[in-house]
């Protein structure tokens, strides 16, 4: 194992392969993904944007209690999923609903938490997507554990563990990096640095040159990437997954992006940042950038644009149908999943609720 610090150092600038005008940027050591991967990413980006827009609309209509949007971060959302294999795992946060859906989780099940029906609406076992973590950075250690178990069994699993810039201040982030490095577990820690933890800007989270530099102290090779450039993300994340799978241990990737919308619908960003700060980021939109590039390369015609838009609309339709339908919550769920075998106290408490509900019906 190399102890050379230099190979751990991230590049001084984030890796970019397509600039914000849609032009290719040559980059030593990082190749442009193949056209098919970029076309797939385009379809996924359109779907992810539609998912965010539809979820925001459902909040306004009162069908979702709350939605932390990843609008503007869709390149990160889709790339981190596209580089995974079926047997790999994704460990998402509350802002990664679009990534979960890109991974194949049913969009209505993905939003169960935010609708208020149940905590985690999907089955983590069928898609290898862990329950979304609302506490910060705690799930990164679970990701290390999942990867370590797979390694002990000789399975080629890689775990993609997501967090934001704020979470890098939590102790669990540092413990996760250290454990992963010491045990050489195949985890890719993917930080979506969107500059804000609710109202607190990055400058109040760290004095380090970048969040990627945090890997050095733990012996984790780290890289910085333009978080609005899906081509660069696919290459950098794809390489990281390959290294992790090849037994080179954990990797840390920091994507530089921006939370262009509020933390959630309950937030008021006017209290802590100006529109002038947000505006330049709108012109760095990940979708415009990729579609400009693909059009320039002759990889995207009107027919494909229309087909992707139609697929995205179908996704939105599925969300509306599922989330506008009235679902009856079942009181038995309160007690059914606390233990493998409900305690006698829980059985008594369930009977009490059953009695109350039956009396209400009589009235």
- The correct pick among 3, 7, 153, 271 for binding other proteins (CB under 8 A) is 271
Give the nearer residue to other proteins in terms of CB position, either 196 or 293: 196
Burial of 247 (0-12, 13-18, 19+ CB in 10 A): exposed
- Tell me which stretch binds other proteins (CB under 8 A): 53-61, 80-88, 264-272, 312-320: 264-272
Give the nearer residue to other proteins in terms of CB position, either 30 or 139: 139
With residue 51 as reference, give the H or E element that holds it. Answer: helix 35-60
Task: Say if residues 198 and 263 touch (Cβ distance below 8 Å).
Answer: yes
- The answer to whether 60 contacts other proteins (rule: CB under 8 A) is no
- The correct pick among 104, 135, 247, 280 for binding other proteins (CB under 8 A) is 135
Q: Quick one: DSSP state of residue 192?
A: E
- The answer to whether 62 contacts other proteins (rule: CB under 8 A) is no
Phi, psi of 262 (to 5 degrees): -65, 165
Give min distance, CB of 361 to other proteins, in A.
14
- The correct pick among 134, 279, 283, 314 for binding other proteins (CB under 8 A) is 134
| Positions 141 through 170 that interact with other proteins (CB under 8 A) | 166-167, 169-170
Q: How far apart are CA 83 and CA 160, in angstroms?
A: 9
- The correct pick among 116, 209, 247, 280 for binding other proteins (CB under 8 A) is 116
Q: What angle do CA 238, 127, 66 make, to 5 degrees?
A: 95
Q: How far apart are CA 71 and CA 10, in angstroms?
A: 26
How many CB atoms are located within 10 Å of the residue 275 CB?
A: 8
- The answer to whether 265 contacts other proteins (rule: CB under 8 A) is no
| Positions 183 through 202 that interact with other proteins (CB under 8 A) | 197-200
From the list 151, 173, 160, 170, the residue with the least C-alpha distance to 130 is: 160
Give min distance, CB of 168 to other proteins, in A.
8
Q: How far apart are CA 104 and CA 126, in angstroms?
A: 10
* 129-142: burial string, b at 16+ Cβ within 10 Å, e else: bbbbbeebbbbbbb
Q: Quick one: DSSP state of residue 29?
A: T
Q: Is 296 helix (H, G, I), strand (E, B) or coil?
A: helix
State the binding string over 338-357 for other proteins (x if CB under 8 A, else -): x----x-xx--x---x--x-
- The answer to whether 123 contacts other proteins (rule: CB under 8 A) is no
Give the distance between the most distant pair of CA atoms in the chain: 76
Query: Site size for other proteins, by CB under 8 A?
Result: 40
- Tell me which stretch binds other proteins (CB under 8 A): 10-18, 72-80, 230-238, 328-336: 328-336
User: Under the rule (CB under 8 A), what is the footprint of other proteins?
Assistant: 65-66, 113-114, 116-119, 134-136, 166-167, 169-172, 197-200, 204-206, 266, 268, 271-272, 329, 331, 333-335, 338, 343, 345-346, 349, 353, 356
């Amino acid at each position: 194992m190399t102890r050379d610090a230099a190979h751990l150092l991230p590049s001084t600038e984030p890796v970019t392969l397509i600039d914000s005008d849609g032009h290719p940027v040559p980059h030593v050591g990082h190749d442009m993904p193949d056209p098919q991967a970029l076309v797939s990413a385009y379809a996924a980006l359109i779907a992810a944007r539609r998912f965010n827009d539809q979820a925001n609309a459902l909040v306004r209509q009162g069908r979702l209690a709350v939605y932390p949007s990843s609008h503007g971060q869709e390149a990160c959302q889709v790339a981190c999923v596209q580089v995974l294999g079926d047997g790999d795992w994704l460990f998402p946060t509350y802002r990664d609903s679009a990534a979960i859906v890109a991974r194949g989780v049913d969009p209505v099940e993905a939003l169960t938490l935010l609708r208020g029906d149940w905590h985690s609406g999907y089955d983590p076992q069928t898609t290898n997507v862990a329950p979304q973590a609302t506490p910060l950075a705690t799930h990164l250690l679970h990701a290390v554990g999942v990867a370590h178990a797979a390694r002990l069994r000789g399975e080629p699993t890689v775990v993609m563990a997501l967090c934001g810039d704020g979470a890098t201040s939590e102790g669990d982030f540092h413990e996760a990096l250290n454990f992963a490095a010491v045990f050489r577990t195949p985890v890719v820690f993917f930080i979506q640095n969107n500059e804000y933890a609710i109202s607190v800007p990055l400058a109040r989270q760290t004095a380090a040159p970048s969040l990627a530099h945090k890997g050095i102290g733990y012996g984790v090779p780290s890289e910085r990437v333009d978080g609005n450039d899906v081509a660069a993300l696919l290459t950098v994340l794809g390489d990281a997954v390959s290294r992790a799978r090849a037994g080179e241990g954990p990797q840390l990737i920091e994507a530089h992006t921006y939370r262009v919308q509020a933390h959630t619908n309950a937030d008021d960003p006017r209290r802590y940042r100006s529109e002038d700060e947000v505006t330049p980021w709108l012109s760095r939109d990940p979708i415009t950038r990729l579609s400009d590039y693909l059009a320039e390369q002759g990889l995207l015609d009107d027919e494909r644009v229309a087909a992707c838009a139609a697929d995205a609309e179908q996704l939105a339709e599925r969300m509306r149908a599922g989330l506008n339908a009235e679902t009856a919550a079942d009181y038995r769920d309160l007690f059914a999943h606390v233990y493998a075998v409900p305690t006698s106290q829980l059985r008594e408490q369930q009977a009490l609720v059953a009695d109350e509900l039956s009396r209400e019906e009589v009235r």
